Amino acid sequence: MIQFEFQKYQQVKLDSYDLENIKERFLQDNHMSGWYDLDRSCVSEIKALASKIRLQCDVFLVIGIGGSYMGSKAIIEAMSPYFSKQKPEILFAGYQLSSEYLQELLEYLQDKEVIVNVISKSGTTLEPAITFSSILSFMKQKYPQIYGQRIYATTDAMQGTLLELAKKENFHTLVVPENIGGRFSVLTPVGLLPIAVAGYDIDDLFEGAMEAKENLDNCYYYTSLRHAFYQQGKVIESFDIYEPKLASFVEWLKQLFGESQGKEGKGIFPVSTINTRDLHSLGQYYQEGKDILFSTTIFAHSDHTVFLQDYQKSLDEVNQMAMESVCQAHYEGHVPTSLILMDKISLKNLGYLLFFFEMSAMLGSYLLGISYYDQPGVNAYKKILREKLGEE
Ligand code: PA5
């Protein structure tokens, strides 16, 4: 269950935007609206593949960058225990160009049974392509006759270098739907296969997302609120959490809002704050720094009961009290807060939030008058780097 508390720690006069009407416009005029359908047609195939893969490997290696890995990483890390290693272990690569990481990964994989899922919608992105090239050589050496059977390529159905390679080398292929952009693709084979291989029931994610789709009032309110803050000059939104397992979830949020809305000299800059840790680093700025911040706090209760004798309270209660104290202090320091409260971290709650935030990123972009699904600015560094590498 998720509760929203928008008014306790802020007083903003909201303009009324007809977001229902914007939603209708988006559905009529947008060819990249596939994520809104919450199409479950791939679920049984993904579940069957995942059951097979789980028996065949110690490590399931996901290679991708941006929307091709952040959604599954967010969900898997939120759901996984901190200390006990689960089998198969899900590892991620191809989202940076670190030689240290790649070399140590190759060494780590040496004595493990490995299955690879390389994900790229365009099939041409540099970081995963470079990583996959090394991993492919490794797989050819480790499984000379059957490496193709141990590689799953998730990519466009019709075109791209990855698709061509998959056909040539006989990899299994899964499709990134044409009308869904990377950062909106977690509930497609892009995110669903890794999540299912990690052992999580992807139907529960859809159930939560469906609930969010059927109850859009809170999403409309949140979208209007952040737009109102933006118009007041509050150009930084911090996603604050009090459960470190949600750290990759807020990384996913940063990508979703950063790439969707940072265009044409507009947009709110998304950051994350992991509390209570960051109260001892960023907390000072929140309280007394420049007046450009607002907070969206995502608080998840815990199932575990750690009782603190000294306070005669559970640790979860103290964590909540800390969160409430921070909200109050920040409010008094001119940082308003919206609260999103989860009764626990569950697939259903996370599925709800995936759809809730995707919807808000899209609607908010319409309010800013920009296109929500592309990211033309990302090409600038790629162009320079490719020139430096002597490529076309
Ligand atoms: O949201 C997006 O579209 C991007 O972040 C992409 O997911 C990212 O650039 C990776 O692209 P690709 O899947 O084509 O390799």
Domains of the chain: 2-28+205-376 (3.40.50.10490), 34-200 (3.40.50.10490)
Nearest CA to ligand 1 atom 13: 120
Model confidence at 379, pLDDT cuts 50, 70, 90, reads confident
The helix (run of H) or strand (run of E) holding residue 339 is strand 337-342
Q: Residue type at 1?
A: M
Average pLDDT in the chain: 95
Catalytically annotated residue among 259, 263, 301, 358: 259
Q: Per-residue pLDDT averaged across 273-296, rounded?
A: 95
Q: pTM, whole model, 2 decimals?
A: 0.97
**Is the Cβ atom of 65 under 6 angstroms away from ligand 1?**
yes
Q: Per-residue pLDDT averaged across 87-112, rounded?
A: 98
Q: Give me the pLDDT at residue 233, please.
A: 95
Query: Ligand 1: which atom is nearest the Cα of residue 67?
Result: 7
Q: Give me the pLDDT at residue 88, please.
A: 97
> How many angstroms is it from 343 CA to the middle of ligand 1?
32
User: What phi-psi label fits residue 94: left (phi over 0), alpha (psi between -120 and 50 degrees) or beta?
Assistant: left
Note if 382 is an active site residue: yes
* Residue of 300, 351, 384 lying closest to 35 (CA atoms): 351
Confidence check: pLDDT of 326 > 90: yes
Q: In 3-state terms, what secondary structure has residue 273?
A: strand
Confidence check: pLDDT of 392 > 80: no
Q: Give me the pLDDT at residue 305, please.
A: 87
Residues 233 and 79: their CA atoms lie apart, in Å, by: 36
Model confidence at 277, pLDDT cuts 50, 70, 90, reads very high
Catalytically annotated residue among 85, 280, 290, 304: 280
pLDDT digits (tens, 9 = 90+) for 293-321: 999 999 999 989 899 999 999 999 999 99
